[in-house]
Amino acid sequence: MLDGCSCLVLLVLSIGIAGVNGQLDFLGFINIDCGLPIPSIVDNGDTSGNFQFLSDEQFIDTGINKQISSLHSPEGMSNLYLTVRSFPNGTRNCYTFRSLTVGNKYLVKGAFFYGNYDNLNLAPIFDIYLGVNYWVTVNSIVDTFYFPEIIATATADYLQVCLINTGKGTPYISWLQLKELETSMYPNNPTVDSSQSLVHVLRFNLGASYRPLVRYPDDHHDRWWWSQTAHTWLEVSTNSSVGNPDPEYDPPSFIIQTAAFTSSTKEALQIRWTSNDPSTKFLVVLHIVEIEDISKIDFREFDINCNRDTWFESVNPGRHFTQINGKNVTANWVAFQPTGYTSYLMSLEATARSTLPPLLNSIEVYKFANATGVPTDVGDVTAINAIKENYKVTKGWSGDPCIPIDYAWTGLRCTIYSNVPRITHLNLSSAGLTGELISFFGNLTALVSLDVSGNDLSGALGTYLDQLVALKYLDVTGNENISSTLPPGLQKRQQDGTLTFKSKIGEFTQQSKKKKVPVVLIAVVGAVVLLLLAVAIILVFCLRKRPDNQIYTPRANENTGSSPLTNNYGGNYAYSPAANISHGNNAGQNYANISKPSGSGKGMLNFDNRQFTYNDLKQITNSFQNNIGTGGFGSVYLGVLENGTQVAVKMHSHSSSQGVKEFLAEAQNLTRVHHKNLVSLLGYSMDGDCMALVYEYMQEGTLQDKLRVNGRPLSWKERLRVACESAQGLHKACNPPLIHRDVKTDNILLNTNLKAKIADFGLSRAFNNASSHVSTAVVGTPGYLDPEYYQSYQLSEKNWLHTSNV
Ligand SMILES: *[C@@H]1O[C@H](CO)[C@@H](O)[C@H](O)[C@H]1NC(C)=O
Ligand SMILES: *[C@@H]1O[C@H](CO)[C@@H](O)[C@H](O)[C@H]1NC(C)=O
Ligand SMILES: *[C@@H]1O[C@H](CO)[C@@H](O)[C@H](O)[C@H]1NC(C)=O
Ligand SMILES: *[C@@H]1O[C@H](CO)[C@@H](O)[C@H](O)[C@H]1NC(C)=O
Ligand SMILES: *[C@@H]1O[C@H](CO)[C@@H](O)[C@H](O)[C@H]1NC(C)=O
Ligand SMILES: *[C@@H]1O[C@H](CO)[C@@H](O)[C@H](O)[C@H]1NC(C)=O
Ligand SMILES: *[C@@H]1O[C@H](CO)[C@@H](O)[C@H](O)[C@H]1NC(C)=O
């Protein structure tokens, strides 16, 4: 612990070094804590404590500061998430990073944690643009962190991050970070350049299950490397740091110092992710370095396949080199760009002559995003922003003035000249402008029409207006004290008849300024307003009742879109700094739950389960010879995998009362949770009509049989242990908890050591931590249900305890 004195010193230091002018700090970062009210005060920042975060005041001039609900901010949560900035007004609101270098690459990361800051308990959906280009849609889930990331080239000396209201709730943001990357990174050809950027999909550190996250300072770009492992993978690590031979992707040494490999040369090392759009192109970067001390006679070599394509043959992860296509290369990474599918299975498969299984240190997957939107001419942008600043224009102007057209600023129109948008029409009529017409109007050199009527402008029309060589219409009427004398250039054009100039006060015809409103109109409007007010009050009164019935927010728990099984695979998941895996829908979105990690750091995997074909299953079970039981789902057969592991293959029967839904529920839940007291799912099959789940084999069968029929009765001690282990499986296994809904002796299985494991998650559903109860239809086996639950239909953690009456 630091004593008070050194804390003070640190604080003083950190204020000294942070980029208080909104410029890159000496580490190359700009870190912004959104919604922090005091300008330029350094927040203690992230849990890592390594960063200074600035208040966002100097980066944006719209939006309001909000605090998240205390019910959604557990103890120990980083300060960064306690405040958000939210944007009730305007379609587009943008943060601006200034003083950047044109042509340099930047890694931009946003953080979104809804935290019920608006008490609506309904997280909004909105879009994020980087400048004029679409980046990602934030589809927040209550109590879930979301960290989108993009690597892009700056086409101007600033970059803007814009939140776009798409009509599905008020956009908000928790924090924002920008990091300048070396120009050698993510090289121009073929990856990041001014026409395309990279949107983060997944970034995994393999073989490091003891360490959930590697980030700054170990990665000096603060890329987040989440530990991932499949329970069939083995791990190897080295304590000697690995020099960086790879300036392109600059992996931190810690990432290279650990690796995962499969248990045999027969087993491929596989990673999956999904895409909503088959035309999306991905960039996959694999870091492959031999860190195991392998003997002279051993030899590791594998092919790298993705779906039907072989990208690299006979890769040999030499300690200091990699062999690709028979050539020695000094770099220890490979990169490839698959496209054309909605689901990707990357598979590292040992070659026939390899004596060692495939090995992988880490993987990064990005998707290419178009950066083809061309922003408005820089001169126009500078001028219009100066005009906005000078007159404090309150039209909600934010982001690029012209692009995208749907979000162009109100009061102006643009035309594209040789591919670059220019401002051609500017209407600041009755916009409250005061003082002189500043010279920046003269910098809008493509202007065709300028209307500043109905303001309080004064003074001369300066010669700078002569720069407006395309001007055809100028209206300064309704400004009492403005000169009506044009500068010489414009005067000539007026005489030519190429310019229409309106200047006389009398010509100003709009009603908005100083026009008397008839008394009758006031009365009518007043009456209408009163009526509307009354209706509004009644409505508000009625609507206020709703939240009570809305404690369970379906979106928080339920996947929409494709089947849960496919959803559950893919790199759509990440841990928060201290969290478990959760689910997300779109490739490139990283959700993580707020809850603390449970028990083991290993597992909780969504992509490790093996997919079997019907023929595989037939082979494994020796043509379904050994039927070892029948459940609600169908028959269960004993099988043996290639490596000798005994498995139970649960085939779905067509006559089964449990259907596809339960099948998927089970698959999804078991891929989400791994616990020593839950039966492990090793794989599944969805081959045509054949649906099957492959489990570890529990030799001693069900507890029910053990209690009722089989030979030796269980001792009291054994019974107690079985009960405890079952309870652990139910209560400790996962966070947020799962409600099993059908716990009975039938569904408790025992292995050779009489260790108990819970099976049959076909009826379970995820339990929303944040709510106090869940209302669902009553399901399960009568006689095993909690009577309270049976009567009330209200499932809570309390009767969930009762439900597990072993
Ligand atoms: C939103 O607009 C309303 C009326 O236009 C204004 O009163 C309010 O201050 C604005 N709020 C923000 C956050 O800009
Ligand atoms: C690495 O160092 C740690 C502690 O210093 C030690 O426990 C571990 O065994 C070492 N690992 C290897 C592979 O040398
Ligand atoms: C690649 O490098 C290894 C180790 O230095 C060497 O034995 C081998 O001959 C090289 N292969 C080729 C094709 O250059
Ligand atoms: C990217 O831009 C190209 C050319 O402008 C266009 O054909 C393509 O559809 C765009 N892709 C996406 C995903 O928007
Ligand atoms: C500018 O906008 C006002 C209304 O906001 C409109 O009456 C006027 O015609 C516009 N001027 C031009 C040149 O279009
Ligand atoms: C605006 O125009 C003036 C000439 O009137 C020029 O000197 C100045 O550099 C321009 N400003 C910008 C920001 O382009
Ligand atoms: C115009 O100028 C006169 C004299 O300087 C001043 O009294 C008046 O307030 C000005 N009007 C406006 C609208 O600024």
Instruction: Assess whether the C-beta atom of 143 lies below 6 angstroms from ligand 5.
Output: no
Among 60-69, 686-695, 705-714, the range scoring the smallest mean pLDDT is: 705-714
C-alpha dist (Å) from residue 157 to 173, 312, 351, 376, 401: 23, 39, 50, 13, 16
Among 60-74, 397-411, 525-539, 674-688, the range scoring the smallest mean pLDDT is: 525-539
Among 425-439, 609-623, 657-671, 702-716, the range scoring the smallest mean pLDDT is: 657-671
Percentage, residues of the chain above pLDDT 70: 69
Model pLDDT for residues 746-763, shown as the tens digit of each residue:
788 888 778 888 887 655
Q: How far apart are CA 697 and CA 648, in angstroms?
A: 5
Q: What is the pLDDT of residue 154?
A: 92
Atom of ligand 5 nearest to the CA of 510: 7
Statement: residue 804 has pLDDT above 90: no
What CATH number was assigned to the domain covering residues 703-803?
Answer: 1.10.510.10
Numbered residues of the known binding site for ATP: 650
Q: How far apart are CA 355 and CA 265, in angstroms?
A: 7
**Pairwise pLDDT comparison (600 vs 673), residue with the higher score:** 673
Statement: residue 159 has pLDDT above 70: yes
Statement: residue 546 has pLDDT above 50: no
Instruction: Assess whether the C-beta atom of 328 lies below 6 angstroms from ligand 3.
Output: yes
Q: Look at the domain 11-181 and name its fold.
A: Jelly Rolls (2.60.120)
Model pLDDT for residues 391-410, shown as the tens digit of each residue:
999 888 999 999 998 889 99
**Pairwise pLDDT comparison (292 vs 50), residue with the higher score:** 292
Residue type, 437: L
Highest mean pLDDT, choosing among 227-241, 356-370, 522-536? 356-370
Q: What is the pLDDT of residue 673?
A: 63
Asked if residue 669 lies in contact with residue 566, where contact means CB atoms within 8 angstroms, the answer is no
CATH 1.10.287 fits 198-370, yes or no: no
Between the CA of 13 and the centroid of ligand 2 the distance, in Å, is 35
Model pLDDT for residues 93-145, shown as the tens digit of each residue:
999 999 999 999 999 999 999 999 999 999 999 999 999 999 999 997 888 89
Q: What is the pLDDT of residue 490?
A: 95
Residue with tokens 């015809």: 509
Atom of ligand 5 nearest to the CA of 451: 13
Statement: residue 557 has pLDDT above 70: no
Q: What is the pLDDT of residue 615?
A: 80
CA atoms within 13 A on the CB side of 797: 11
Instruction: Assess whether the C-beta atom of 343 lies below 6 angstroms from ligand 5.
Output: no
**Pairwise pLDDT comparison (295 vs 793), residue with the higher score:** 295
Among 92-106, 313-327, 467-481, 486-500, the range scoring the smallest mean pLDDT is: 313-327
- Collapsing DSSP to helix, strand or coil, 779 comes out as coil
What's phi and psi for 777, nearest 5 deg?
-65, 145
Asked if residue 342 lies in contact with residue 276, where contact means CB atoms within 8 angstroms, the answer is yes
Instruction: Assess whether the C-beta atom of 500 lies below 6 angstroms from ligand 5.
Output: no
Q: What is the pLDDT of residue 534?
A: 46
CATH 3.40.50.720 fits 378-513, yes or no: no
Would you state the structure tokens that stand for residue 640, as one six-digit string? 């043996």
Q: Where are the beta strands (DSSP E) in 184-224?
A: 196-206, 213-214
Q: Take atom 5 of ligand 2 and give the residue whose Cα is closest.
A: 239
Q: What is the pLDDT of residue 346?
A: 96
Statement: residue 265 has pLDDT above 90: yes
Statement: residue 19 has pLDDT above 70: no
Mean pLDDT over 772-796 rounds to 46
- Going by C-alpha positions, the residue among 790, 806, 789 that lies closest to residue 798 is 789
Percentage, residues of the chain above pLDDT 90: 40
Mean pLDDT over 697-706 rounds to 80
Would you state the structure tokens that stand for residue 307, as one six-digit string? 């779906």
Mean pLDDT over 448-472 rounds to 95
Among 118-127, 209-218, 427-436, the range scoring the smallest mean pLDDT is: 209-218
- Going by C-alpha positions, the residue among 170, 168, 128, 124 that lies closest to residue 148 is 128
Mean pLDDT over 368-372 rounds to 89
Q: What is the pLDDT of residue 434?
A: 95
Among 258-267, 280-289, 580-589, 680-689, the range scoring the smallest mean pLDDT is: 580-589
Would you state the structure tokens that stand for residue 727, as one six-digit string? 């309870």
Q: Where would I find the H helices in 284-431?
A: 378-391
Between the CA of 584 and the centroid of ligand 4 the distance, in Å, is 25
Q: Name the CATH superfamily, with its identifier, for domain 553-696.
A: Phosphorylase Kinase; domain 1 (3.30.200.20)
Q: What is the DSSP letter of 43?
A: B
**Pairwise pLDDT comparison (415 vs 716), residue with the higher score:** 415
Centroid of chain to Cα 166: 18
Active site residues: 742
Q: What is the chain's mean pLDDT, rounded? A: 75
Mutation to probe ligand 1, out of 57, 89, 398, 410 (largest number of atoms < 8 A from CB): 89
Model pLDDT for residues 492-542, shown as the tens digit of each residue:
999 999 999 998 766 665 544 444 344 444 444 444 444 444 444 444 443
Instruction: Assess whether the C-beta atom of 510 lies below 6 angstroms from ligand 5.
Output: yes
Contacts of 413 (CB under 8 A, 6+ apart): 423, 424, 425
Q: Nearest bound ligand to CA 427?
A: 5
Q: How would you list the strands of the sheet with 420-427, edge to edge?
A: 412-417, 420-427, 449-451, 473-475, 500-502
Between the CA of 320 and the centroid of ligand 3 the distance, in Å, is 11
Q: What is the pLDDT of residue 188?
A: 63
Q: What is the pLDDT of residue 604?
A: 26
DSSP per residue over 254-319, as a string?
A: HHHTEEEE-SSTTSPEEEEEE-S-TT-BEEEEEE----S---TT--B-EEEEETTEEEEEEEEE-S
Mean pLDDT over 165-169 rounds to 94
Statement: residue 283 has pLDDT above 90: yes
Instruction: Assess whether the C-beta atom of 613 lies below 6 angstroms from ligand 5.
Output: no
Q: How far apart are CA 71 and CA 504, in angstroms?
A: 62
Model pLDDT for residues 784-793, shown as the tens digit of each residue:
445 454 455 4
Would you state the structure tokens that stand for residue 164, as one six-digit string? 């776009």
- Going by C-alpha positions, the residue among 757, 759, 789, 761 that lies closest to residue 776 is 789
Indicate the pLDDT class of residue 671, thresholds 50, 70 and 90: low
Q: How far apart are CA 329 and CA 320, in angstroms?
A: 9
Q: What is the pLDDT of residue 660?
A: 66
- Collapsing DSSP to helix, strand or coil, 721 comes out as helix
Torsion angle of the four alpha carbons 306, 307, 308, 314, in this order, in degrees rounded to the nearest 10: 30
Would you state the structure tokens that stand for residue 228, as one six-digit string? 């991932």
Q: What is the pLDDT of residue 554?
A: 23
Q: What is the pLDDT of residue 586?
A: 33
